[in-house]
Amino acid sequence: MTNNKANFPAIDEIVVVASVNEVATALGSDPYFSNFEIKQVEDKVVAITYNGLTQILLSAEIWSSFEDRMQWVQNTSANTAVVCVGNEKDFKDFPPELKRPDIQILGFPCSRLTLRTALQSLFNFQTLISHSEAETREVDEANQNVKYVMSISRLLNGERDIPKLLSLILQKAREICNADSGTIYTVHSQTDDIRDGQIKFRLTQNDSIVQNLSEFTMPVNEESIVGNAIIHQACINIPDLYRLSPDPSENPYGARHDSSWDQRIGYASHSMLTVPMYDISRNVTGVIQLINRKKSGSGKLISPQCFDSKVIPFDEIDQEMAEIVAQQAGIALENANFQESIQTLFNGFVNASVTAIEQRDPTTSGHSHRVAHLTVSMAKALNEVHTGSYKDLVFNADQIMELEYASLLHDFGKLGVREAVLVKAKKLYPEQMELVLTRFELIRTLLEVEYLKRRLEYFEHPSNFPMGATIESFLYERDQKLSELDMFMDFVQKANEPTVLEQGGFEKLKDIANAAYTTLGGDTSSYIDANELKALSVSRGSLTREEFAEIQSHVTHTYEFLRQIPWGRKLANVPQIAAKHHEKLDGSGYPTSAAAAEIPVQTRIMTIADIFDALTASDRPYKKAVPVDRALDILNMEVKGGKLDKELFQLLVDTKVYGAVLDPNFEYFKAV
């Protein structure tokens, strides 16, 4: 028989192997199997192992018995294969459940060459399967890493609160590299030269010890590892800080380690990975610094032995994954900073709008800020209520912001109302009252002139006057009319105040309006005209019905103005919330007489806050501030009348959140 010497050493090919128990003997002298472990596991069972792969040969007596074969065939894998050995007669009754790809058959008796060839082919097949499964695991692991990194990206880009974002960035970077500790810094520069900037320490995290460090800044220079990472835009991986040379010039990037800090806090910083974060323009915006890469499954580092046995250097994969996280983090941080800038800009716009409103209506200065504080405070208090109709209602941060903006801008529509109407403190406009007073002065002058003329005529032609006429009678008559004029003028000035018109006041005003005088041109004119009479006849307050309607129109203007602003999905309800703050639950409000079901709970809160501040405000020139107890009584009457929400009013009473706005030194931004 001829051998392929290129593949196999010369062996005796005539030797016949008749049973499983002969396998170990037959292969033991075969040079090809010199590196294989061949073991008789038990009678009629042989295991052959090579390079982590195992073949288990079972004789027919074993595989034909269900109980005997189960321990060998139930847990096969790419690394362990089962070979059922038997003759032609044995295989006629081969169990169907063993007809599987992972179970092979081998006919005996056979030559040693046939046995070797069969086992070699099976080992080759196992090797291919093992490599395939390893590659599959690597692909799966890579896919899992990609999915994990993508999940981190989504998580980071979904956070807009910068302190929370920085904490999240550091947490995820530590998780992906299994770092025990870490620190995160941000970089700030007013020029294009990064060396002119400052490094700001933001926060640290440590699984093993508690550290309470305050924020601090340091210059961007090459005296620190962080500074080097920023200047050189490089990831700096130091396997062990304690193995650095005392001479910094001999270390990468001139790195040095001050172990005194470790000694003070009872910690040992060994492996370190410093990774810059970049914005989309490739500018360094921050640095992630990871400390002490732990072996998988390691717990806290609580002793010197732990640092020696559990801490390992960060490898290339750690660095690659940390850089990916840092890249995502840099973009997320840039987005958050951009969002913060937009928020700051928008807040500036809102407060500029409030300022514009209050400049047009100085009598309500501070009202919008006080209402916003009261409304937001009540909404937050409502989140803590676990009984009643609102026990399941919780306002999230976006809804609180939405309510705050709606409250600040609830009177924005006053920009569409005539300023004269907004600031009208009395029933007549100042120019109207000035005209009335001038007219009365004219009437006085005309009366004086008229009686001077009569006296002259009397001196010149006394016979033209009836008997009994005297100078004294003329003076008496004049004084009577002047006295009446003064009385009229006093009453007009009194009626001009925005108080309740006294009983019979309307009739007196009509009498004054019916009084007439003759102008220098000879025309007849009333003491007060129809418009003045209408204004002075207002029974309560200072506004006529038309003027009050104009004031009420500010709500419609508010809605029309606010709906022009692209609020976005999270703040979409601002116009609707603000536009209904004068509606009442019984439908008696304005501008649409909305029913209770149409009034959002946010607006119900704002309505109570708005009325409370209007009652207690001390800056209204046309009325005195109402004491808190009286204001609450008035609100309670509105509740009993079905106009205001009972539970929300009780919330105001119970929480006393109005205390802050009653402080003369109240400042909205400090309070919020």
User: Could you say which DSSP state residue 627 is in?
Assistant: P
pLDDT digits (tens, 9 = 90+) for 451-471: 888 888 888 888 888 877 888
624/598 same-domain check: yes
d(CA 311, CA 243): 14
User: Could you say which DSSP state residue 502 is in?
Assistant: P
- Domain assignment present for 444: yes
The string of DSSP codes covering 463-495 is GGS-TT--HHHHHHHHHHHHHHHHHHHHHHHHH
Q: Which residues contact 3 (CB under 8 A, 6 or more apart)?
A: 10, 11, 13
553/667 same-domain check: yes
- Which residue in this structure is represented by tokens 């770092």? 179
374/484 same-domain check: no
- Binning the chain into helix, strand and coil, the percentages to the nearest 5 are 55, 15, 35
194/169 same-domain check: yes
d(CA 234, CA 425): 69
Tell me the CATH number at 389.
1.10.3210.10
557/409 same-domain check: yes
581/613 same-domain check: yes
- Which residue in this structure is represented by tokens 């716009």? 349
Q: What residue numbers bound the domain in which 498 lies?
A: 430-542
User: Could you say which DSSP state residue 255 is in?
Assistant: -
Cβ(437)–Cβ(489) below 8 Å = yes
Beta strands at 103-107 and 80-86: parallel, antiparallel or unpaired: parallel
293/166 same-domain check: yes
The model's pTM is 0.66
- Domain assignment present for 136: no
Report the domain count for the chain: 4
The pLDDT value given to residue 42: 92
Task: Taking the CA atoms of 116, 118, 120 and 123 in sequence, report the sign of the dihedral they define.
Answer: negative
Token pair belonging to 192? 């294009």
- Domain assignment present for 121: yes
From residue 631, give the alpha-carbon distance in Å to each of 370, 625, 643, 648: 15, 9, 15, 15
Which of 542, 564, 585 marks a domain boundary?
A: 542
Low-confidence ranges of the chain (pLDDT < 50): 1-12
- Domain assignment present for 613: yes
- Domain assignment present for 375: yes
- Domain assignment present for 145: no
Tell me the CATH number at 110.
3.40.1350
Within 13 A of 298's CA, how many CA atoms are on the CB side?
24
3-state secondary structure of 307: helix
385/295 same-domain check: no
The pLDDT value given to residue 619: 58
- Domain assignment present for 565: yes
For residue 312, the tally of other CB atoms under 10 A from its CB is: 18
From residue 282, give the alpha-carbon distance in Å to each of 218, 278, 285, 334: 22, 5, 9, 11
The pLDDT value given to residue 271: 95
Cβ(48)–Cβ(119) below 8 Å = yes
248/264 same-domain check: yes
The pLDDT value given to residue 16: 85
- Domain assignment present for 9: no
From residue 544, give the alpha-carbon distance in Å to each of 424, 429, 533, 591: 11, 11, 11, 17
The pLDDT value given to residue 9: 45
222/316 same-domain check: yes
123/177 same-domain check: no
d(CA 356, CA 359): 5
**Helices and strands (H and E) in the chain: how many:** 24, 16
Which of 493, 525, 542 marks a domain boundary?
A: 542
User: Could you say which DSSP state residue 624 is in?
Assistant: P
For residue 11, the tally of other CB atoms under 10 A from its CB is: 17
Cβ(311)–Cβ(292) below 8 Å = yes
Tell me the CATH number at 246.
3.30.450.40
pLDDT digits (tens, 9 = 90+) for 560-593: 999 999 998 989 999 999 999 999 999 999 999 9
Which of 523, 542, 561 marks a domain boundary?
A: 542
412/498 same-domain check: no
